[in-house]
């Protein structure tokens, strides 16, 4: 969580900085009286880097990845639920003694 | 359905609770969530919480869920007195509730008073004729009295109305297996596989039924379903590996006379045997020699 958050903050800062640089650049263009054709290469690289960092943060930040493989430990079904709706009570376990001291105190 | 992680978690919690490490309520919640049948432990630890006024009041409304859980566990352990007390407490809180009424019927069942239980269920069904649990209890009652054929009949009638109830399909399959009607059981498992194609245990059970029925075609189909079980479990299901070995042997025996020249020794069987040996080497090295001799006897490994 900590690493993801730091990376996210860094990415956001980069994006903000790229925006700031672009406005600066446009201001400069106005002074030297040229048409705006596109942002400078430095800003584009910064933008892409910021995007990448924000994406990493978006993946890593909120939680851990779950496996989609059916045979992974998290997904492999090893036991079906006992069919408790059809539970019957006259089974062989009923002859086992059970602690007679136990009682519900009301 | 319990995945490998959840099962390990449950076992670990059980050991922790048994040794007095706390976490009894979490254990009981997990048992309920996974629908495990560990009645003796549930009864012991559940009663401990219920008898401790402070722990009980901490649960708030969940307290009554616990009363119900303990009542089930008590009936399963033949402690009808405890179950009766629990049901009494629930009756006091929820008079006239159908859910508590069901418990009362089950208490009669646990005592073996079938006609009384029947009466309770009939009364409850008059109020809500489509109560699934009560209809299922009627099936269970027939089963408990040793009348599996009648239980299968009831369950068939139930499934006509509630076709999507896969627990009922599974119960019907098991009932049919217990009265050796394998064809019908196979149909039920087909239905279950359609319902949940990603659950390896249904594939495994279906393959078992097919293998039991025998015959070349069924054996070949069984082998395929054992293979799909292995596919879905990543080879961690020992029973499926054994199944492949046994199916291969049976198929070889059946086809021996017919196509002698055709050597149909697929990679599958040797891979399954290898997988078995590796599994035993890792998890039970003491039994490795036993498995090796067995596999050698059926000529799976040289």
pLDDT tens per residue across span A77-99:
988 988 889 999 988 887 887 77
Residue A104 lies in a domain: no
Contact A104 B200 (CB under 8 A): no
Q: Is residue A55 part of a domain?
A: yes
pLDDT for A104 equals 81
Please say if the pLDDT value at position A61 is more than 80. Answer: no
**ipTM, interface predicted TM-score of the complex:** 0.79
Tens digit of each residue's pLDDT, chain B (302 residues)? 888 999 999 999 999 999 988 889 999 999 999 999 999 999 999 999 999 889 888 988 899 999 999 999 999 998 899 999 999 999 999 998 999 999 999 999 999 999 999 999 999 999 889 999 999 999 999 999 999 999 999 999 999 999 999 999 999 999 999 999 999 999 999 999 999 999 999 999 999 999 999 999 999 999 999 999 999 998 899 999 999 999 988 988 888 766 654 455 568 888 899 999 999 999 999 999 999 999 888 877 76
Instruction: Find the CB nearest B3 among A76, A83, A87.
Output: A76
Are β-strands B2-3 and A77-79 bridged in parallel, bridged antiparallel, or unpaired? Answer: antiparallel
Q: What is the pLDDT of residue B197?
A: 93
Nearest one of B60, B68, B104, B47 to A106, comparing CA atoms: B47
Distances (CA, A) of B142 to A81, A84, B114, B148: 22, 15, 9, 7
Six-digit token pair at B185? 């059981």
- Put simply, the answer to whether A74 touches B5 (Cβ < 8 Å) is yes
Could you give the CA distance from residue B145 to residue B203 in angstroms, rounded to a whole number? 30
Is the Cβ–Cβ distance between A57 and A11 less than 8 Å?
A: yes
Question: Which residues lie across from B3 on neighbouring strands?
Answer: A77
Read off the DSSP letter of residue A63: -
Nearest CA to B45 among B75, B20, B23, B24? B24
From B75, B25, B26, select the one nearest B52 (Cα to Cα).
B25
Indicate the number of domains in chain A: 1
- Residue A53 confidence (pLDDT) above 80: yes
Q: What are phi and psi of A77, to 5 degrees?
A: -85, 120
Yes or no, beta carbons of A85 and B137 under 8 Å apart: yes
Three-class SS of residue A79?
A: strand
CA-based nearest distance B107→chain A, Å: 10
Token couple for B259: 């196509």
The residues pairing with A77 across neighbouring beta strands, listed in sequence order, are: B3
Helix axes B80-93, B39-50, angle to 10 degrees: 50
Output the CA angle B94-B97-B103, nearest 5 degrees. Answer: 100
- Gap between the Cα atoms of B71 and B89, Å rounded: 10
Contact (CB, 8 A) for B158 and B142:
no
Short-list B265, B243, B268, CA closest to B256: B265
Cα nearest neighbour of A80 on chain B: B1
Q: Give dist(CA B104, CA A76) in Å, integer.
A: 37
SS3 content of chain B, % helix, strand, coil (to 5): 80, 0, 20
Do the beta carbons of residue A61 and residue A1 sit within 8 Å? yes
For residues A52-70, b (16+ Cβ closer than 10 Å) or e, as one string?
A: ebbebbeebbeeeeeeeee
Q: How confident is the model at residue A42 (pLDDT cuts 50, 70, 90)?
A: confident
Residue A13 lies in a domain: yes
Instruction: Quote the domain boundaries for residue A12.
Output: 2-60
Q: Under a CB-based contact definition with an 8 Å cutoff, are residues B138 and B153 in contact? A: no
pLDDT at position B37 is 92
* Contact predicate B63/B56, CB 8 Å: yes
Return the residue in B76, B111, B114, B173 with the most chain A beta carbons within 10 A, the one to mutate for interface testing: B76
CB contact under 8 A, A104 and B82: yes
**Residue A39 CB contacts under 8 Å (≥ 6 apart), including other chains:** A21, A22, A25, A47
Listed in order, the ranges of chain B carrying CATH 1.25.40.10 are 142-197
What would the CATH number be for the domain defined by B1-131?
1.25.40
Phi first, then psi, for residue A79 (nearest 5°) are -150, 135
Residue A70: the pLDDT is 85
Distance separating alpha carbons of residues A105 and B19, to the nearest angstrom: 23
- Identify the pLDDT of residue B168: 95
Closest by Cα among B111, B105, B145 to B123? B105
One of 3.40.50.2300, 1.10.40.30, 3.30.465.10, 1.25.40.10 is the CATH number of B142-197, namely 1.25.40.10
- Give me the sign of the Cα torsion angle B214, B216, B220, B221: negative
Taking an 8 Å cut-off on Cβ atoms, the answer to whether B233 and A71 are in contact is yes
Are B268 and B227 in contact by the 8 Å Cβ rule? The answer is yes
Nearest to B71 by CA among B33, A15, B63, B284: B63
Tell me whether A64 touches chain B (CB under 8 Å). no
């Amino acid at each position: 969580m900590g690493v993801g958050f730091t990376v996210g903050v860094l990415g956001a800062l980069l994006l903000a900085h790229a925006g700031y640089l672009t406005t600066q650049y446009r201001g400069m263009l106005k002074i030297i009286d040229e048409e705006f054709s596109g942002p400078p290469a430095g800003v584009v690289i910064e933008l892409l880097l910021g995007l990448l960092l924000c994406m990493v943060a978006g993946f890593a930040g909120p939680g851990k990845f779950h496996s989609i493989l059916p045979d992974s430990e998290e997904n492999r079904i090893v036991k079906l639920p006992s069919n408790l709706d059809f539970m019957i009570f006259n089974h062989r376990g009923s002859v086992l003694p059970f602690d007679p001291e136990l009682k519900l105190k009301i | 359905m319990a995945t490998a992680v959840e099962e390990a978690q449950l076992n670990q919690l059980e050991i922790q609770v048994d040794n007095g490490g706390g976490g009894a309520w979490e254990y009981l919640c997990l048992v309920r969530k996974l629908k495990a049948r560990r009645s003796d432990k549930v009864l012991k630890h559940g009663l401990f919480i219920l008898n401790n006024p402070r722990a009980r009041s901490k649960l708030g409304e969940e307290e009554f869920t616990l009363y119900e859980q303990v009542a089930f566990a008590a009936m399963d352990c033949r402690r009808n007195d405890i179950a009766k007390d629990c049901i009494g407490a629930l009756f006091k809180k929820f008079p006239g509730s159908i859910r508590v009424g069901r418990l009362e019927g089950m208490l009669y069942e646990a005592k073996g008073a079938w006609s009384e239980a029947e009466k309770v269920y009939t009364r409850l069904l008059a109020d809500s004729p489509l109560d699934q649990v009560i209809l299922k209890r009627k099936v269970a009652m027939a089963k408990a009295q040793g009348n599996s054929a009648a239980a299968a009949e009831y369950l068939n009638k139930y499934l006509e109305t509630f076709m999507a109830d896969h627990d009922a399909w599974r119960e019907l399959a098991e009932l049919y297996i217990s009265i050796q009607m394998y064809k019908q059981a196979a149909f039920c498992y087909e239905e279950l596989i359609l319902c949940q194609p990603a659950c390896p245990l249904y594939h495994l059970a279906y393959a078992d039924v097919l293998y039991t029925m025998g015959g070349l075609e069924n054996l070949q189909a069984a082998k395929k379903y054992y293979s799909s079980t292995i596919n879905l479990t990543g080879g961690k299901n020992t029973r499926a590996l054994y199944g492949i070995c046994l199916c291969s042997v049976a198929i070889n025996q059946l086809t021996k006379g017919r196509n002698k020249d055709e050597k149909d020794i697929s990679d599958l069987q040797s891979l399954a045997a290898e997988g078995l040996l590796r599994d035993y080497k890792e998890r039970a090295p003491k039994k490795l020699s036993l498995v090796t001799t067995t596999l050698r006897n059926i000529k799976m490994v040289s």
